[in-house]
Structure 1
Amino acid sequence: MPSNDSLKTRQDLTVGRKKYAYYSLPAAEEAGLAGISRLPRSMKVLLENLLRNEDGVSVTEDDLKAVAAWIENKGSVEHEIAFRPARVLMQDFTGVPAVVDLAAMRDAMTALGADASKINPLNPVDLVIDHSVMVDNFGTSKAFGQNVEREYERNIERYNFLRWGSSAFANFRVVPPGTGICHQVNLENLAQTVWTLEEGKKTVAYPDTVVGTDSHTTMINGLAVLGWGVGGIEAEAAMLGQPIPMLIPEVIGFKLTGRLPEGATATDLVLTVTQMLRKKGVVGKFVEFFGDALTGLTLEDQATIANMAPEYGATCGFFPVSQATIDFLTATGRDKARVALVEAYAKAQGLWIDENSEDPIFTDTLELDLASVVPSLAGPKRPQDRVELTTAAPEFEGHLTGTFGRPSDAPRYDVEGEKFTVGDGDVVIAAITSCTNTSNPSVLIAAGLVARKANALGLKAKPWVKTSLAPGSQVVTDYLNDAGLSKDLDALGFNLVGYGCTTCIGNSGPLAPSISKSINDNAIVATSVLSGNRNFEGRVNPDVQANYLASPPLVVAYAIAGSMRIDITKDPIGQDKKGKDVFLKDIWPTSQEVADIQRKSVTPAMFAKRYKDVFKGDKHWQAIKIEGGQTYDWDAESTYVQNPPYFEGLSMDPAPVTDIVEGRVLAIFGDSITTDHISPAGSIKSSSPAGAFLINHGVDPLDFNGYGARRGNHQVMMRGTFANIRIRNKITPDIEGGVTKHFPSGDTMSIYDAAMRYQSEGRPLVVFAGKEYGTGSSRDWAAKGTKLLGVRAVIAESYERIHRSNLVGMGVVPLQFKADGWQKLGLTGEEIVTVRGLSDVNIGKLKPRQDLWVELFRPSDGKMARFPVRCRIDNQTELDYFRAGGVMPYVLRNLAGGGATPEAETIAAE
């Protein structure tokens, strides 16, 4: 359904021989939205979205005026708008449970006597299977094939389900395993920068926008596609036609000047940017890049910076359309007519940037001279903790004795059956992995050249290092092969292990048993060096405590050096064939060497060939027989995919929301609890509640797979919630892991077991936390698991944007301390908690961000306490979701009762 277009902005744009309709921003300015030509370009994309979707209900003239007023208030005035992305992107870890929920909603529609086919994505959805491959095999030419075979063995139940989904749901496509990382496939093929839609006899052109179930969806902002990560819960709502409510953001302008110096890489640049923006404080804000340095950055460099927006805390890191955009679209084989449209549309709308462009108005700005960037790492636990390469070794020594509490002179230890020893600081994993860098030919070619020079001198990776290469797309293999660099990487053990998110998400696979045993028996602080974007504690591998992010060429160098305790800027990293010391400078390529190979070996033909049949898949995928019809035939014996309980007993009228009365405290956490801590992630231990469940269902521990692969089974996932091996619950301060005490018994047990006992007693639960609760990846199970454990509320000092929204989407209320945090309350975990005022939502009295009071009673001493909190249900849409029991019941009832939500009708008509 076309926009109301109250400002009469709809015009025609002729490109070549084709005419497009579009909603003109210059026309909107002439019609009264004064000054919008000075808006940041990311804000212009939001404004166009509102102009095109103006319906007088979800988008009104007041919304348009509020965006125009940004020129004066720069985002300081809170105003909520309804954002409708052009499409949704998923990866399989977060995508499978979303599709499971859609299948369950179809069953629920049938139970309500409604039409199940109404549960269907109304926005285009692409799901890329990229998170399931693990580095079981490495260091040989057979590793890739062996890992693919193992991947299908582990995940065939999930893949059967996704094959069904790709045929059962309209507007839903699946990119099969072994193709690439979702963000790189998106960058190289799916994204168009300018999207089009057939509307009657007209083709409407508008900015390509996207939300994704992976927080690194932000990578696509490097291609001038506005997008960010959302939880699976929000993504499901977007798929089903619900707009995404958001506050008009502040936009921080990041000015880039100068040129990178010799020896510095795009990875060094992004680690510097991440550190600067974390220090600046940009959580919940847009960041938009500008400045003369943009003309010297490649599109891949821009994508590298945009990728790590979650690490620097921003909603997105946006790069405007420029000549680099056009060059990249052309180089990756996009349709010529589409490339021409992108340039013409961007220039017509004021979205284009070049050396003559006037700088926009920003909320605030900061600046970086690229010439000041130096080789860097980030670690050992957070991506924003940048350390210059020249000081990495001494800083590690400080962490060793401080952070990890190890003596500096601990001995090296024997490895059973081997002729080498291992000790603190040894690099046991060196992985070229993750979307951050594998989209960028410059750093991958540089890694290949480091390997080539090292091989020529006779250098080898240390025998305790697990090496791997997991490119983001098959095109990477093509240009490395063309340049002859694959064989150089192979010679150092960096053989292809798979196309997917491996080490960066914890799919590093096991270390050699003898090495693992030596590390654990002797409490060795082992390290990993990976070209990723996440290095949170306990994420990469359970045997590795210290994790460092680095550029691909540095990953190769550290595999050769074998230790973080070696200063590779001064100390030799190895000896050549004659026993002579070799230094990093001896094997480091020049930028000209890298550029020469990139110019010759990366060709448009490679992209055209690889993406011609991107949805076809290999022989394994094609062999999967599609079974089932409109609804899914659930297998009661499956330990991977089960019908979740969210809709059990669902009626058309939601049950009234009650206050939390005499609730119990399930856990008390400190600051920076990430979704990696909350959500089930990584390996499943036999001794864990999830492991016990699987064993009880006949699964051998060797076949446990990771939590990520089992996200379609709520029984496994709820048992793994708050079960991270590194999480610390202040109720049991001396025990690391997902443990708590049950009160009033005082029994110590797993958080899952305590939650189940409290449920049997009819006790609602609350969780207390400190600052930045829920940072990290957009994990929907961090909210779903919390809900299924019986948690009614989380009370924290501050929240990460996506996780707060996901809690509301599951019907869990996020409350925020207005003054001091839980530390000043002297909590022990025995307290009885009451929160009143939540039931006011039933009669429309609970307002967004309303203040409430929490009452505490401590039975041991009879003391009472009362403190104010802000209810972080931030807008009316979220209140509606909360009243309904969550976003899925809300959408389901609307579809069952009215045929379709107003939003769905609008999208369907378009």
Structure 2
Amino acid sequence: MTMYKDVFGARSTLEGAYGTVHYYRLAALAERGVQGLDRLPFTIKVILENLLRHVGNDLVTEEDVRSLAGWTPGKAASSEAEYPFLPGRVLLQDFTGVPAVADLAAMRSAVARLNGDPQKINPLVPADLVIDHSVQVDSFGSTTAFARNVEREYERNSERYALLRWGQHAFSNFRVVPPGTGIVHQVNLEYLASVVMTKDDDGETVAYPDSLVGTDSHTTMINGLGVLGWGVGGIEAEAVLLGQPLYLLTPEVIGMRLTGALPEGATATDLVLTVTQMLRKRGVVAKFVEFTGPGLSQLGLADRATISNMSPEFGATATLFPVDEETLRYLRDTGRDPKLVELVEHYTKAQGLFRTDETVEPRFDDLLELDLGTIEPSLAGPRRPQDRVPMSALSQTFRSAYADRFKTAPQTSQAATATAVAERPTSQAVTVELGHVQTQLTHGSVAIAAITSCTNTSNPSVMIAAGLVAKHAVERGLSVNPAIKTSLAPGSRAVIDYLQNADLIPYLEALRFHLVGFGCTTCIGNSGPLAEPVAEAVQDNDLVVAAVLSGNRNFEGRIHPQVRASFLASPPLVVAYALAGTVDIDLTTDPIGTDANGENVYLRDIWPTQQEVRELVQKAVTPEVFSKNYAHVFEGDEHWQKLSNATGPLFEWDANSTYIQEPPFFKDMSPEPEPVKDISGARVLVMVDDSITTDHISPAGSFAEKSPAGQYLVEHGVARRDFNTYGARRGNHEVMVRGTFGNIRLRNRLVDGKEGFYTVHLPDGEEQTIYDASMQYQKDGVPLLVIAGKEYGSGSSRDWAAKGPLLLGIRAAIAESFERIHRSNLVGMGILPLQFKQGESKESLNLTGRETYEITGISSLKPRQEVTVNVTREDGSTFSFQTIARLDSAIDVTYYENGGILPTVLRRLLQA
């Protein structure tokens, strides 16, 4: 069966060692009169090829192709066009993958109840799920840590993993990478991604650019390899799995031109923190970023991937580095098939998708410039990844952020800061006894030092640099305070192999950076408990201790509930601050420690040169390292092999499981949707300020026994040590709805001055947990609202940040602005995102959250239509204001009218 129709006469062939392949030439559009194709951003070219290949298939029209081919800078602002984009594949991780598989299983159950064929619910595009988010750092600081953590991982998660093993057999086009392999984005970068994909089309092979969407916001990491992909909510990803396109508005593409080269002492992490700060300041939310300029040739592939990974932190949809010679080198160095590498080179050059320093630079909607030579060592924090801090200003930044903990005011000069350190009251130092060792903790003490997360662990240069810092430190007789929880969680097994090849493992272990697992660990909140004496000292003395991690997220309450300050840093700086033991220090001038002779040792004394790092990378990082580690990637270890291996088209739900329950979204679904109605008599459940993240809405880390979710598990006989995390419990809606708005640092204005999962039930004014109040409101038939400030829903692409509010009875969210993925997720669950008009906010309208609300005009919505909100205050007075319905396209309206994406897709499949 022919999938592709050659409407524009664009089909042509390429030949090589890979055989004969067909492809759809973009140049054919120039032959038909389209001007300026050579100046299009590479991002636009990839999307254009997708349209050209699919034109005539009832989704893509000739006008779609011509419209996007005519893209010019500034066009996005005035264009209302939307383009159907069909990604080549879908990538999932287990936190978001488990609920996705559970939803697909529930859809099969629903189809069976409606007397349909459940096997109609099946992935129609290739999907890979990598289990990487569940391992926790329970054990650390020993050579047995990895084995112990893996054992605990399976103890906690066997029910979840059994669901995934069932899905591996029940669904076609679905592969699972078992635990203990690596972080999803690094496995994608090192193995899964092909840059150019192929598909059989009626007996002929068609080649096209690799493209994907993923259920993790850091899917963008693959952009560093020249592959266009980005994070979507699990809800959208499930729709793509079932053959639905994504609908893109005309892309706005911001260029970033690089010149120069990184100076000595600076790393790719320092670069990415600078880029994050620049692009967040420029404002690139929902836009595409593309790198250009001669500086690209000075930037290794792993460095590019480090930047692309951080797209969510600066808000971009994707951050593309075009394919070039460095891309081909990386494919060879990671053991890819030589035939594939040849195909990538031939195809991208034939399509005008290959960059050289002589390539005419594209035109962009805006262009930023950065000289790599200006990059300096940096961290980011203590609460947000976009808040870059030069290493020299870290102490000052920490003291300013927590000024109430210091008697001296925040200082502005190095001399004044040094004086402030000397004047710190001695009462702030707390003695802690760990075994037979006594140590002291104070404000700024490092409690967690973690080499973790996909951002950096994919990058051999910074990982080798971390090992070299450890080597030089050990040789000088330095050590790490035993009160610090240290961990090494690489993004793939290949990292351990090349660290061993470089003879650096013994030095990392000498500083207690032992392997704890292959997964996100600390960055996702799976940092595990602090040592009990440390935890008690922090709790009893209200200490502000710090985490230093090589991750990409440091939102409040995410890393560890007892660690208030969290700083992102490169792996070598993680080692450095573990050695220093504090963030209240200037490592550019202050000694990091003293050697065996009592002499001061400075960071510059143990920092490796670029040449030293480069030579060791060339020696240790070989194609064989990657080929060996990915040879049996889908088989799993003995733990995986021993899991329940149920088969069959329908999943057998266990009513007694506290991990996996049939989600309620499809249980009472009718073949036709109910008409959309206005919302009346609504109350505010939660009112919050700016930059509320999906971690605030649906935390992923640990939770307390006193929390609603903890109480649910206790009632079901689960011991505290077996609670696991919210992320691991995502297959059970009963846990997740109780954890919604469950972040311990949530500040709900309805309970002013109190943090956590509380609200006020109205009109009686009783303070309750958010969950309990919600249940009471729903019992009384009262619809609920969330009111927020700017950037509502920033952070991870967390589907439960939309599913949870739906189950709490929330019908609409009113905010000054929405982060891209979260807005889409809200629509995907049938929750109406409403945006205050420019210049208006809850403050300007004097909203307190204690009013009642009526939302009118939503029974016949159009994209971005104005919607009226009528408000009745507590004193009975009334007023109204206008909002913009953030249903950004016609398909958004369709999804909302159907109660979400998945009911829409399910109804279509039932009618097919």
TM-score category of the 2 structures, normalised to the smaller one: over 0.9
Change (3 A) 1:733 1:338: same
Change (3 A) 1:839 1:406: farther
Give yes or no for the alignment of 1:511 onto 2:530.
Answer: yes
Give yes or no for the alignment of 1:412 onto 2:426.
Answer: no
Question: Which whole-Å deviations, capped at 9, do the CAs of 1:7-46 have from their partners, x for residues lacking one?
Answer: 2111112224621111101112211322122100111000
Instruction: Say which of 469, 489, 507 aligns to 1:488.
Output: 507
How far apart are the structure 2 equivalents of 1:528 and 1:175? 30
8 Å CA contact retained: 1:88, 1:211: yes
8 Å CA contact retained: 1:121, 1:171: yes
Task: Give the corresponding residue for 1:262.
Answer: 264
Task: Give the corresponding residue for 1:337.
Answer: 339
Shift of 1:684: 1.5
SS for the counterpart of 1:839 is coil
Instruction: Say which of 631, 652, 668 aligns to 2:671.
Output: 652
How far apart are the structure 2 equivalents of 1:581 and 1:303? 37
How far apart are the structure 2 equivalents of 1:849 and 1:738? 32
Task: Give the corresponding residue for 1:863.
Answer: 877
8 Å CA contact retained: 1:527, 1:547: yes
Structure 2: which amino acid aligns with 1:883? E
Change (3 A) 1:72 1:727: closer
Change (3 A) 1:404 1:835: farther
1:680-691 aligned within 5 A: 680-691=699-710
8 Å CA contact retained: 1:427, 1:562: yes
SS for the counterpart of 1:458 is coil
8 Å CA contact retained: 1:377, 1:389: yes
Give yes or no for the alignment of 1:632 onto 2:634.
Answer: no
SS for the counterpart of 1:19 is strand
Give yes or no for the alignment of 1:294 onto 2:308.
Answer: no
Q: Which moved more, 1:598-607 or 1:415-424?
A: 415-424
Give yes or no for the alignment of 1:874 onto 2:851.
Answer: no
Task: Give the corresponding residue for 1:187.
Answer: 189
1:26-175 aligned within 5 A: 26-55=27-56, 57-71=58-72, 73-78=74-79, 79-175=81-177
Task: Give the corresponding residue for 1:908.
Answer: none
Question: Which whole-Å deviations, capped at 9, do the CAs of 1:472-509 have from their partners, x for residues lacking one?
Answer: 00000001011110111001000000000010110111
Task: Give the corresponding residue for 1:897.
Answer: 911
How far apart are the structure 2 equivalents of 1:26 and 1:47? 11
Structure 2: which amino acid aligns with 1:55? G
8 Å CA contact retained: 2:871, 2:878: yes
Instruction: Say which of 857, 862, 868 aligns to 1:847.
Output: 862
How far apart are the structure 2 equivalents of 1:312 and 1:771? 14
Task: Give the corresponding residue for 2:19.
Answer: 18
How far apart are the structure 2 equivalents of 1:342 and 1:349? 11
TM-score, scaled relative to structure 2: 0.97
1:819-858 aligned within 5 A: 819=838, 820-840=840-860, 846-858=861-873
Structure 2: which amino acid aligns with 1:614? V
8 Å CA contact retained: 1:33, 1:68: yes
Structure 2: which amino acid aligns with 1:457? R
SS for the counterpart of 1:277 is helix
Shift of 1:405: 10
Task: Give the corresponding residue for 2:806.
Answer: 787
Aligned length, in residue pairs? 892
How far apart are the structure 1 equivalents of 2:130 and 2:269? 25
Shift of 1:404: 9.7
Task: Give the corresponding residue for 2:214.
Answer: 212
How far apart are the structure 1 equivalents of 2:311 and 2:849? 36
Question: Which whole-Å deviations, capped at 9, do the CAs of 1:429-476 have from their partners, x for residues lacking one?
Answer: 000001010000000000000000111111001121110000000000
Give yes or no for the alignment of 1:885 onto 2:899.
Answer: yes
Task: Give the corresponding residue for 1:374.
Answer: 376
8 Å CA contact retained: 2:433, 2:439: no
SS for the counterpart of 1:211 is strand
Give yes or no for the alignment of 1:549 onto 2:551.
Answer: no
Structure 1: which amino acid aligns with 2:865? Q
TM-score, scaled relative to structure 1: 0.97
Structure 1: which amino acid aligns with 2:567? Y
How far apart are the structure 2 equivalents of 1:806 and 1:406? 46
How far apart are the structure 2 equivalents of 1:799 and 1:824? 18
Shift of 1:75: 2.6
Q: Which moved more, 1:70-79 or 1:782-791?
A: 70-79
8 Å CA contact retained: 1:681, 1:724: no
SS for the counterpart of 1:605 is helix
How far apart are the structure 2 equivalents of 1:431 and 1:379? 15
Shift of 1:77: 2.8
How far apart are the structure 1 equivalents of 2:401 and 2:126? 47
8 Å CA contact retained: 1:680, 1:717: no
Give yes or no for the alignment of 1:769 onto 2:769.
Answer: no
8 Å CA contact retained: 2:432, 2:537: yes
How far apart are the structure 1 equivalents of 2:595 and 2:657? 54
SS for the counterpart of 2:428 is coil
Task: Give the corresponding residue for 2:633.
Answer: 614
Instruction: Say which of 431, 440, 446 aligns to 1:427.
Output: 446
Structure 1: which amino acid aligns with 2:76? G
8 Å CA contact retained: 1:693, 1:716: yes
Shift of 1:406: 9.9
SS for the counterpart of 1:477 is helix
Question: Which whole-Å deviations, capped at 9, do the CAs of 1:531-586 have from their partners, x for residues lacking one?
Answer: 01111111100010000010101100100100011211111111111111111111
Instruction: Say which of 591, 596, 601 aligns to 1:577.
Output: 596
How far apart are the structure 2 equivalents of 1:805 and 1:17? 40
Structure 2: which amino acid aligns with 1:60? T
How far apart are the structure 2 equivalents of 1:403 and 1:289? 43
Task: Give the corresponding residue for 1:623.
Answer: 642
Structure 2: which amino acid aligns with 1:850? Q
Structure 2: which amino acid aligns with 1:745? D
How far apart are the structure 1 equivalents of 2:406 and 2:165? 46
Structure 2: which amino acid aligns with 1:281? G
Shift of 1:161: 0.9
SS for the counterpart of 1:76 is helix
SS for the counterpart of 1:865 is strand
Task: Give the corresponding residue for 2:412.
Answer: none
**Uncovered stretches (5+) of structure 1, i.e. residues with no partner:** 841-845, 899-910
Question: Which whole-Å deviations, capped at 9, do the CAs of 1:169-228 have from their partners, x for residues lacking one?
Answer: 111000000000000000000000001001122100000001000000000000000000
Structure 2: which amino acid aligns with 1:396? F
Task: Give the corresponding residue for 1:904.
Answer: none
Task: Give the corresponding residue for 2:238.
Answer: 236
SS for the counterpart of 1:70 is coil
How far apart are the structure 2 equivalents of 1:340 and 1:330? 10
SS for the counterpart of 1:825 is coil
| Superposition CA RMSD, Å | 1.3
> What's the % identity of the aligned pairs?
58
SS for the counterpart of 1:835 is strand
Structure 2: which amino acid aligns with 1:31? R
Question: Which whole-Å deviations, capped at 9, do the CAs of 1:598-628 have from their partners, x for residues lacking one?
Answer: 0011100111111011000111101113114
8 Å CA contact retained: 1:668, 1:768: yes
8 Å CA contact retained: 2:93, 2:215: yes
How far apart are the structure 2 equivalents of 1:679 and 1:238? 23
Question: Which whole-Å deviations, capped at 9, do the CAs of 1:863-891 have from their partners, x for residues lacking one?
Answer: 10100000111111111111111111111
**Uncovered stretches (5+) of structure 2, i.e. residues with no partner:** 410-423
Task: Give the corresponding residue for 1:741.
Answer: 760
Question: Which whole-Å deviations, capped at 9, do the CAs of 1:75-102 have from their partners, x for residues lacking one?
Answer: 3333211111000000000100000000
Task: Give the corresponding residue for 2:413.
Answer: none
Give yes or no for the alignment of 1:816 onto 2:835.
Answer: yes
SS for the counterpart of 2:438 is coil
How far apart are the structure 2 equivalents of 1:675 and 1:317? 21
Task: Give the corresponding residue for 1:386.
Answer: 388
Structure 2: which amino acid aligns with 1:467? T
